[in-house]
Structure 1
Amino acid sequence: MRPLQRLVLFAVVACGVAVGSGRCSQEAAAADKLYRVVEGKADARTYNGYRRYHGGCNHCHGPDGVGSTFASSLVDRRLDIETFRRVVRDGQSKSGSSVMKGFANDPNFAPYIDDIYAYLQARADGALGRGRPKKMDP
């Protein structure tokens, strides 16, 4: 069973138990997401994704992932995580011309692709607004 499938299964079980007790927590309902946002505060992964995104991705994809005249929105355009990983690692081209370079060898981005995805996923879902998110206490 893949890690995401295990996480979704856990969420379904946790939510079923919570429903039996009369409530289903926000965290259990959002367990299929890579991010965790509670009361407007982002978990460490999502906050790091914000930092990494604004360290380089925003130059082309615009502030907070909303896109620019140069590159597409990453908030409106929903990519599954495998496609996102591949495009960030390998880059993307159309009709033989480079559209985006790959970051597979960039130590500032390659190890943090899932963190960046978590941040963009939280933005796309409306869990985080524009600007620097508040960070959860550890």
Structure 2
Amino acid sequence: MKKTMNKIQRAYMTAKARVQEIESQQVEIEKKYILDNGIVNLDGSTPKFLWCMDDDAAFDKANEEVSALISTAGLESALNAARVDLKAAEDRLISYGLSLAPASVRATLERNVKQNATTRQKVIDLTFRLDVSTVSA
């Protein structure tokens, strides 16, 4: 059976999943804090996130306390490290994708990937979705 994904694509997928996992853990801490402290908006609704709070003073206090909880849980440093790993995996994925691009457009893509976030993301997406079994060695 032919492989449809290479180690560069798998490394990117793993790094991205790690960042998303840590971010979801942070969101869970935030949601738990909101519920545990009975935070409600002026209209009586429970905010889904801290930034949805109506009261600015209460938001500032809650934001500091949630930030401390996240930091104490080690998620802040873990997220920073995971983001560094993701950036490195993205750079490797981009390099791989650009190595497959025709020489006539490679220089333009290399320049635009450095200057334009949308182009960077499109190259990442296309290279990640590439079926490597269709690429000659």
From the two aligned structures, give the one with the greater strand fraction.
1
Mark the structure with the bigger radius of gyration.
2
From the two aligned structures, give the one with the greater helix fraction.
2
- Could you say whether these structures have the same fold, taking a TM-score greater than 0.5 normalized by the shorter chain as the test? no
Question: Normalized against structure 1, the TM-score is what?
Answer: 0.27
Higher relative contact order (CA 8 A, sep 6+): 2
